[in-house]
Amino acid sequence: MTAVTPTDADTTAALAVKTSEGAWALELQGVSRHFGALKAVDAVAMKVAAGARHAVIGPNGAGKSTLFALISGELALSAGRVRLMGADVSRWSAARRAQAGLGRTYQITNVLSGLTVEQNILLALRGKEAVKYSLFGRSRPTAAEDARIEELVGLCGVSQHRNDRASAISYGRQRQLELAIALASSPKVLLLDEPAAGLSPAERGPMADIVRGLPPDLTVLLIEHDMELALGLADTVTVLHYGQVLAEGTPQQVRDNEQVQDVYFGAAGHHA
């Protein structure tokens, strides 16, 4: 769910139906990050309703990953505000935002390759602090942990690999495991940075299905370079270009937007 241009009253009304009574799951106001003279993210505004599937798309270098780092707290804001379920988290650490329900995956996988699928998820369930105590000690899941692992491997399509080492499963399955790891902390808002990056065409479909099948009350923000994949998954879309919001709306509105078509399919000189 996103803000739309103020003139687009019909769209605003249509999208507002999905808004729950309370606060937005995520709300950005004037969010900016400068690297020297470069405005990597420049006054971005965005509103995402609880349970929405919201895609952030744009060419390489548009500022998508930087925006996620600003939302998660890994990077400090140069200006602007980030609200998570109504709370102003702009000055919170990444750890505190994670505790408040913000989960994320990375563009580069985050899986411990020497451990099994089960062990990877177990460590995520127990939290980072538990790693050094549990890894070489009591590493068997309790009954409750076992049930939760079973649920997560099912949701993420890696049930049949539960006892395989992460290094022994395909790259596509590792990305699915990474999603299970992110879900283990039961986030309310999940940021997915290019979940289909590096996947073969045959692996992209299953990943899209998994994202589609995530719990409906989970709010999902998805960065995706592949516009068709993103638009097929999302209810609402923000298009970034040179750090700024170029367009926003439903997938159809974004598809029909001439400036977006220009950036993706148009004139030479664009870096799409």
Ligand X SMILES: Nc1ncnc2c1ncn2[C@@H]1O[C@H](COP(=O)(O)OP(=O)(O)O)[C@@H](O)[C@H]1O
Q: How far is the CB of 48 from ligand X (least distance, A)?
A: 18
The dihedral formed by the CA atoms of 167, 170, 175 and 177, expressed in degrees to the nearest 10:
-60
- Per CB under 6 A, 60 contacts ligand X: yes
Stretch that binds ligand X, among 56-64, 205-213, 230-238, 246-254 (CB under 6 A): 56-64
Q: What residue has token string 């609880």?
A: 50
- Per CB under 5 A, 65 contacts Mg ion: yes
| The one among 44, 49, 58, 148 contacting ligand X by CB under 6 A | 58
**What are φ and ψ of residue 114, in 5° steps?**
-80, -10
Cα 206 to the chain's mean position, in Å?
17
Stretch that binds ligand X, among 33-41, 121-129, 198-206, 211-219 (CB under 6 A): 33-41
Q: How far is the CB of 16 from ligand X (least distance, A)?
A: 28
- Per CB under 6 A, 61 contacts ligand X: yes
- Per CB under 5 A, 66 contacts Mg ion: no
Cα 21 to the chain's mean position, in Å?
23
Binding mask 211-250 for ligand X (x = CB under 6 A): ----------------------------------------
Those residues with Cβ within 8 angstroms of residue 1's Cβ, 6 or more apart along the chain or in another chain? 15, 18, 19, 24, 47, 48, 49, 52, 54, 235, 236
According to DSSP, the residues that pair with 219 across neighbouring strands are 189
Question: 60 is in the binding site of which of Mg ion, ligand X, none (Cβ under 5 to 8 A by kind)?
Answer: ligand X
H helices of 105-200, in order, are 117-126, 128-134, 143-155, 171-184
- Per CB under 6 A, 195 contacts ligand X: no
Interacting residue ranges for ligand X, rule: CB under 6 A: 35, 38, 40, 58, 60-66
Provide the binding-site residues for Mg ion, judged by CB under 5 A. Answer: 64-65
